[in-house]
Amino acid sequence: MVRIQHAFCDLDDTHLHFMAGHRPAIAFLAKEVGQKFANAFDATYQVLHLGGQAQDGDWSMVPGGQEAYEQLRKKLQLTKIGSRSFPWSRELAALHAAQVVDMQLHPREAVEIAAKYWAILSSNITLYPDALRFLGRLKAEGVQNHISTGSDSSLRWAENGWVYDPKLAKKIKMFRVRVLDEFGFSPASVTTGDPIDKPDKAFYEQVMLNACIETDLTTIDPATCITVGDSFRGDVAMPMQCLGIPQGYWLQRGQPRRQLTENIHLIGSLDEIPLE
């Protein structure tokens, strides 16, 4: 049996308890901007987040179902820079929330709101208990953990419209990775979806390239790797397909473990991943 030497893992909702930061950020917006706005902002996130997960299965948990998700994605994707759209942009979410509650909001104000949201979220985000144990096991076993995380679609406003700055977007994302500092993570350990995002093949190729640079290796044998995350397509199926990783673990916390295919496992906790 091949020894596991590399784990390619998602960040938000895999290692990081995203909602632990999101809730106080929403509470802050309710106080600073207004409860109706905060509710609309939160609802925008919930439809996008739950809808993204429902693409792998059940739409019953998504407010408004698949139709609401697809309509919201379509609306947010109308803002494009080049060929890229920004469905996860909190700046665009703020403008959408303002429209929902009939509130006048300039794009610059949306940028300020998004910045405050990310600052509060990043200051309150925590590791899941099973992620803390998993990171400890990886370190004890000498397994390299390579983080591959999607873009937050961060934007800024200029006189001629929206501007996408990949370096700024990555900086915002990296701010909340600090919670992993005690495990020796460096910027080289983390690949963000800026400027190329999941599920583009080039994103996963960049993940592998960064892993080689981080470990000072020319190549990494896919047989020594596993891939882990809460998105079936973005964190499991595509890395396996694009990089040839033989084992994938789809994390759905609280669900009973079961084997979906010969090489893909649904797990309810990171504790269920064997490293031997």
In a domain, 131, yes or no: yes
Q: Note whether residue 57 is domain-resident.
A: yes
Identify the H or E element spanning 264: strand 264-267
Residues of the chain with pLDDT under 50: none
Over residues 137-183, the pLDDT tens digits come to 999 999 999 999 999 999 999 988 999 989 888 988 888 888 888 77
My answer on whether 111 and 225 are in the same domain is no
Does residue 243 sit within a domain? yes
Instruction: Find, among 207, 200, 206, 202, the residue nearest to 228 by Cα.
Output: 207
pTM: 0.92
Contact 230, 249 (CB under 8 A): no
Reported as a single tens digit per residue, the pLDDT across 196-229 is 999 999 999 999 999 999 999 999 999 999 999 9
Instruction: Please list the residues that pair with 266 across neighbouring strands.
Output: 250, 258
**Rounded to whole angstroms, what are the CA distances from 123 to 15, 31, 153, 170, 232?**
16, 17, 19, 17, 28
pLDDT at 172: 86
What count of Cα atoms within 13 Å lies in the side-chain half-sphere of residue 168? 12
Cα angle vertex 59, ends 53, 64, to 5°? 110
Query: What number of H helices and E strands is found in the chain?
Result: 9, 13
Q: Is residue 1 part of a domain?
A: no
Is 261 found in the same domain as 146? yes
Alpha helices per DSSP H over the chain:
18-32, 35-54, 65-76, 90-100, 107-124, 129-141, 166-175, 201-215, 238-243
Indicate whether 102 and 155 sit together in one domain.
no
Distance CA 38, CA 5 (A): 44
**CA atoms of 113 and 33, how far apart (whole Å):** 9
**CATH code, domain with 185:** 3.40.50.1000
Mark whether 99 and 222 lie in a shared domain.
Answer: no
Range of the domain at 58: 18-123
- The residue from 68, 101, 123 where one domain ends is 123
> Do residues 138 and 263 share a domain?
yes
Q: Looking at residue 263, what is its pLDDT?
A: 96
